[in-house]
Structure 1
Amino acid sequence: MSEEIEFIVPSVPKFPKENIDPLEVEEGDPIVLPCNPPKGLPPLHIYWMNIELEHIEQDERVYMSQKGDLYFANVEEKDSRNDYCCFAAFPRLRTIVQKMPMKLTVNSCKSK
């Protein structure tokens, strides 16, 4: 006599397809880049990288929240880039998913 077993296969998490409007801020302003990672089998690891898969440098001015959002205490002109990407890694599913790149433009307050 055999027992019936039900296998639950978790689906692969995905970021929703979305058009992310470019963000424009004045130099010195704070801003948050939202990650909103998809739900999936824990644990979840979040990384912020550019399109070349180089990590976005974090320090006391630029840091990631527990939810995975990227916070800028005060943006600088050098923070302008068009490829801020949030990556969500699900090791138990052997899966890494990427959010659409975000563009951040920092307007300098220096008068030219």
Structure 2
Amino acid sequence: MLFNSYIFIFGFLPVTLLGFFWLARRSHAYAAAWLALASLFFYGYWNPAYIGLLLGSIVCNYAFGLWMAKAQLRAQSQLGSGGRKKHILVFAIAANLSLLAYYKYANFFVSNVDA
């Protein structure tokens, strides 16, 4: 689904916005969950096989965040500098960029090697 397609403009966008504002009256958590589910649907509409990849990335990023919070608490209790948190952040960013680079450029490199 493209942003300028009729199905997005007249179907997906109005349903998503109406659902968000209706749920936001009741609970901001429900509205946020609605947007997350709508985002997964939008992402999976093109190729549902990649929803697992996106969910795996989300879980890994959440785990990195928990790891960073744990490192922050450990650094505060030991009066450390908190340098470990920065290393975790760099590792998490590198992992995300490598995943992006693989899925974006792997076919490009394979086609150039085959040529």
Provide the TM-score with structure 2 as the length reference: 0.19
> Which of the two has greater helix per residue?
2
> Which of the two has greater strand per residue?
1
